[in-house]
């Protein structure tokens, strides 16, 4: 197997290419695609076999939180349970390189949720190509950061992605990333949000100063 490479314009992704990508994804394919925080692996939300292929590439156990990459708040709100205070915090940090861990709704396949806590990650990236892919697919993309076993940073160069994973994927989207750093992860399953992976706190502080009343406990991870 060899991945099909799609070069997409960073500001105006080609509709024909987007439609071809969607067709492959809907047919069970998995892809590597650029975001505002490096490359990610992704597949259709209900693609259980694709989920397992991604787990194998990343060498993940069933405790890992996958992320549902959404196009907008309307889509996000259908997939996770969000209180008013949680909404205000998410709104202050979105779109951007932030992943939020929340309880999933019945719209999310059980295999996608954390087995014990029934939680899942959600985010809205600040990245035209990623958002265009979600919009063309018509549903959230089941994703995780393209961080290979043993690496400390996600892959960010499409040439490197092709060299390392071209034989394991169905699609590789060739377009610029926004940043080569992973997302900041905020676990919001309890009353007090917990930052489990902190990349940058500038917008967190700005959000708090903007009227978002929330205590954030930072953990290394």
Do residues 114 and 60 make contact, with C-beta atoms less than 8 angstroms apart? no
Q: List pLDDT tens digits, range 165-205.
A: 999 999 999 999 988 778 889 999 887 788 877 665 545 54
Average pLDDT over residues 49-53: 97
Please state, in angstroms and rounded to a whole number, the distance separating the CA atoms of residues 59 and 2: 21
Query: Over 60: is that where the pLDDT of 139 sits?
Result: yes
Task: Compute CA distances 62 → 18, 119, 186, 194, 218, whole Å.
Answer: 31, 12, 19, 21, 24
Q: What is the DSSP letter of 36?
A: B
119-123, strands of its sheet edge to edge:
4-7, 171-174, 31-35, 38-44, 141-145, 67-69, 119-123, 98-103, 184-187, 194-197, 217-218
Task: Output the average pLDDT for the chain.
Answer: 88
* Residue 195: per-residue pLDDT: 83
Enumerate residues 6+ apart whose C-beta is below 8 A from 133.
13, 18, 21, 22, 33, 42, 141, 173
Average pLDDT over residues 83-92: 89
Query: Over 80: is that where the pLDDT of 218 sits?
Result: no
| Angle formed by the axes of helices 128-137 and 15-26, nearest 10° | 60
Enumerate residues 6+ apart whose C-beta is below 8 A from 102.
80, 81, 82, 86, 119, 120, 122, 188, 189
Enumerate residues 6+ apart whose C-beta is below 8 A from 115.
62, 63
Q: List pLDDT tens digits, range 105-138.
A: 999 999 999 888 999 999 999 999 999 999 999 9
* Residue 206: per-residue pLDDT: 46
Q: Lowest-confidence range among 84-88, 156-160, 180-184? A: 180-184
* Residue 219: per-residue pLDDT: 46
Can you name the residues that pair with 4 across neighbouring β-strands? 171
What domains can be seen in the chain, in order of their start residue? 4-218 (3.90.870.10)
């Amino acid at each position: 197997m060899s991945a099909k490479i799609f070069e997409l314009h960073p500001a105006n992704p080609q509709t024909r290419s987007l439609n071809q990508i969607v067709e492959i994804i809907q047919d069970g394919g998995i892809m590597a695609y650029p975001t505002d925080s490096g490359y990610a692996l992704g597949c259709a939300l209900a693609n259980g076999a694709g989920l397992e292929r991604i787990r194998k590439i990343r060498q993940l156990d069933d405790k890992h939180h996958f992320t549902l990459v959404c196009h907008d708040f309307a889509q996000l709100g259908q997939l996770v349970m969000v209180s008013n205070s949680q909404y205000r915090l998410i709104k202050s940090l979105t779109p951007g390189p932030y992943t939020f861990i929340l309880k999933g709704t019945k719209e999310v396949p059980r295999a996608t949720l954390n087995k014990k806590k029934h939680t899942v990650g959600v985010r809205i990236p600040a990245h035209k190509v990623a958002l265009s892919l979600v919009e063309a697919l018509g549903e959230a993309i089941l994703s995780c950061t393209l961080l290979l076993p043993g690496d400390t940073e996600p892959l960010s160069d499409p040439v490197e992605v092709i060299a390392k994973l071209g034989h394991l994927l169905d699609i590789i989207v060739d377009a610029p990333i926004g940043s080569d750093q992973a997302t900041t992860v905020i676990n919001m399953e309890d009353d007090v949000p917990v930052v489990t992976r902190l990349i940058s706190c500038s917008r967190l502080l700005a959000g708090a100063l903007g009227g978002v009343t929330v205590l954030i406990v930072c953990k290394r991870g």
